[in-house]
Amino acid sequence: MLRLFTGLCLALMAQTVADAGTISVEDFYRGKVLSLIVGNGPGGGYDVLGRLLARHLGKYIPGNPTIVVQNMPGAGTLVATNYLYNLAPKDGTQLGLIARNMPLLSLLGQNPNVRFDPRKFTWLGSSSDFSDDGYVLIVRKDSPVKSIDDARRADGPTLVLGGTAEGASSADVPEIVRDALGINMKLVLGYRDSAAIFLAMENGEVSGRMVELSSVRSTRPQWLQPGSDYRLLAMYARVNRHPDFPDVPTARELAPNDAARALIEFTETPLLTMAWPFVAPPGVPEDRALALQTAFAATQRDRDYLAEAAAFNVPINAVSAADIYRAIDELSRASPKLFDYVRKLVLGKKAADSFAANLALQNFD
């Protein structure tokens, strides 16, 4: 009897697996509620874009499931990224919007809290590259630092910036800019999310921050208007100056030597490709993964979606999943010397001489 019962259980299990393998994508998604995990808190640029996509993506997924946003802030989206990789269902019912520096953070290999391999994620694509974006160094006008030249003077005032946590772009990007360009900067970490840093700037707790231009445009557009109480000092992750801000220099322009410029270009690589990357867990069934990737691409061409994005000042210039996979592969094949130097930079290991002087001695080939 026990053998018969065991055999029946095994047969039922086998049939269940067979049924799961033959169910169509449309039948699987029909009536489902999908979760879109946004790795930042409400009120920031990531939250705006995540909710924008959630309102339109479902109509392009077979079965037209409903999509709801779940905010999961922490460590600059590292909490959400680890969740999506390790704990989220791998059946195609959960996807997420994570920070663009997550692949590089993983490949550097120095953060023990990173528990994912970016090459194994199911990438859906990015809503934009950085062709109309960039990280801006934005400060209050009453800050003692009035220009990028002030910030770089050896005897100049210290610029106090806000960030979330080590490993987050709000910390790593200013650290790279600080050390590569020789900026007098103090970085205050521990803010919960982007909205909290904006509030800290408004309250005068910090003088400024480094943040995506698109995030300022979508959440604090008045800061970019003539006569506002804020000014832009420089832009990172820009090949050329932004046409809307021709007087704001790029980090590449400000690099003191070729080695510093090479370091800036290397760390900008994932940012330029995947401005707003959407991802699903590894191991999503191939047909559902393809359906999600196809639906994501179709959404980026949807007229209503584009009109709503324009209303929020969110630039859309879609990047395919294939392009993201290629960018990560290219990033992973950088020279070990360059990886090692960036590890030391992010960890804050400074040599006795200036960073620029050390860079001049490096050979990243």
- pLDDT top residue among 273 and 23: 23
Length of the chain: 365
**Cβ atoms within 10 A of the Cβ of 140, count?**
18
Q: What is the DSSP letter of 249?
A: P
Sheet strands side by side (includes 94-97):
66-71, 33-38, 94-97, 277-280, 122-126, 319-320
281 pLDDT exceeds 60?
A: yes
DSSP string computed for 74-126 = -GGGHHHHHHHHHTS-SSSSEEEE--TTHHHHHHH---TT----GGGSEEEEE
CA-to-CA distance for 45 and 198, rounded, in angstroms? Answer: 11
- pLDDT top residue among 357 and 76: 76
**Cβ atoms within 10 A of the Cβ of 151, count?**
27
Mean pLDDT within 113-126: 96
Does the global pTM surpass 0.75?
no
Q: How buried is 18 (Cβ within 10 angstroms: 0-12 exposed, 13-18 middle, 19+ buried)? A: exposed
Q: What is the percentage of the chain residues whose pLDDT exceeds 90? A: 63
What confidence score (pLDDT) does residue 10 get?
A: 47
Residue 144, both tokens: 């003692």
| pLDDT tens for each residue of 209-227 | 999 998 899 899 999 999 9
For the chain, which domains are there? 25-129+274-332 (3.40.190.150), 135-270 (3.40.190.10)
CA-to-CA distance for 8 and 78, rounded, in angstroms? Answer: 44
Q: What is the percentage of the chain residues whose pLDDT exceeds 70? A: 88
CA-to-CA distance for 180 and 118, rounded, in angstroms? Answer: 26
pLDDT band at 347 (very low <50, low <70, confident <90, very high): low
